[in-house]
Each structure stands twice: as C-alpha cells, then as structure tokens.
C-alpha cells in the first residue's frame, strides 16, 4: 500500500522557501490524486510554527499531527498512526528538504519502507540545502520522482478506472 506524508507546510515556513508556488501547486495535485485513489495521507506540523497553509489543509481530511522531532517517525503519535497503517511504500512531500524530509526518509528506510520523494514537492530556504538533501537521499536509496510521475506510477495504465479524474487533476 502507498501512503503520502505531507510534512510541515506551515505559514511561518512557507514564505521563506525557494520556488514555493510551484512546490505547493505540485503538492496539491499529488494530494488530490491520493484522495482519488483512496490512499492514506498523514500530515504533520512542527510545533510553534503556526498552522498548515489553507490550500493544503483544506484538501486533507485528517488532523495534522503535532511534532517537535524533525523526523516524523520520532514523534510517538505519528509513529503509532504510521504503524497502524503499515504502508510498504511511502511518498514524502513538504518542507524543509534538508531537515524534516531528509530525516524522515532515512528513518523510513530503516523501517524497511520503499521511500519516494517527489522532488518538485519539497523545498528549503536555500537551494544548496535542497540540492544536497536530494543527493543524500538518492545515495541512501530513496527513490526520487516528481508528483506527476508518481501519480502515473500508481495508476499504471490508461485503463485505470480513475484515469479521467486523474487526468483532470494533472492538467489542472
């Protein structure tokens, strides 16, 4: 089973992220696709950094899990929910790439998960931080993708029952 983890799209962080508009737009497409596929989505917020931005929060039906750890898996509440779902494949999106995305990806690998990071759905304040985080994740065995490539990989064929609905999201 696939699971999407949406990490720390918070008001206080988002305004400082490079290329944030593209990151948000790509993330919205991926979130909408996961919903169409009926796949689980988990969302986190770093405590003390404000709420999740409206355009993301409004799409997700579950309450954000508050955390102080950088890796989502080091938060007890998150870890319990993650274990309840027991996903084999996990996709990560959010901010910041070199902190919470990286540390979560590394911990997911230790859990035996197949980890995907949609590189067009992650960001950092500085481009160098994102670039190095992406290289590190690739070296560690994380599968890099884009939102659209991941959507089509999940769908597998144009004969998929949700193809037309997904096409509308991707074109959007």
Q: For each of the chain's 172 residues, which pLDDT tens digit applies?
A: 799 999 999 999 999 998 999 999 999 999 999 999 999 999 999 998 889 999 999 999 899 999 999 999 999 999 999 999 999 999 999 999 999 999 999 999 999 999 999 999 999 999 999 999 999 999 999 999 999 999 999 999 999 999 999 999 999 7
Which of 24, 108, 119 is CA-nearest to residue 71? Answer: 108
Which of 88, 136, 144, 85 is CA-nearest to residue 111? Answer: 88
Q: What are phi and psi of 7, to 5 degrees?
A: -110, 115
DSSP conformation class of 74: G
Three-state SS for 146? coil
Question: What pLDDT does residue 117 have?
Answer: 98
Virtual CA dihedral for 46, 51, 53, 56, nearest 10 degrees? 70
Question: What pLDDT does residue 14 have?
Answer: 93
Question: What pLDDT does residue 18 have?
Answer: 87
Spatial neighbors of 129 by CB under 8 A, at least 6 apart, are 96, 97, 98
Question: What pLDDT does residue 72 have?
Answer: 98
C-alpha angle 121/137/75, rounded to 5°?
Answer: 75
DSSP conformation class of 166: H
Question: What pLDDT does residue 1 have?
Answer: 73
Side-chain-side CA neighbours of 122 within 13 Å: the count stands at: 29
Confirm or reject CATH 3.40.50.2300 for domain 2-171, answering yes or no. no
Domain spans, the chain:
2-171
Cβ(36)–Cβ(74) below 8 Å:
no
Question: What pLDDT does residue 172 have?
Answer: 78
């Amino acid at each position: 089973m696939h699971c999407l983890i949406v990490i720390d799209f918070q008001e206080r962080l988002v305004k400082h992220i490079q290329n944030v508009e593209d990151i948000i737009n790509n993330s919205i497409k991926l979130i909408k696709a996961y919903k169409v596929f009926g796949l689980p989505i988990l969302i986190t917020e770093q405590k003390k950094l404000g709420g999740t931005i409206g355009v993301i929060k409004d799409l997700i039906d579950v309450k954000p899990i508050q955390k102080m750890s950088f890796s989502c898996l080091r938060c007890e509440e998150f870890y319990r929910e993650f274990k309840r779902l027991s996903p084999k494949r996990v996709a990560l999106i959010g901010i910041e790439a070199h902190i919470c995305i990286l540390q979560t990806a590394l911990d997911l690998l230790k859990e035996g998960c197949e980890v995907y990071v949609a590189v067009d759905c992650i960001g950092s304040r500085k481009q160098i931080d994102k670039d190095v985080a992406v290289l590190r994740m690739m070296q560690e065995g994380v599968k890099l993708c884009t939102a659209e490539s991941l959507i089509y990989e999940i769908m597998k064929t144009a004969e998929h029952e949700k193809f037309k609905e997904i096409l509308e999201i991707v074109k959007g």
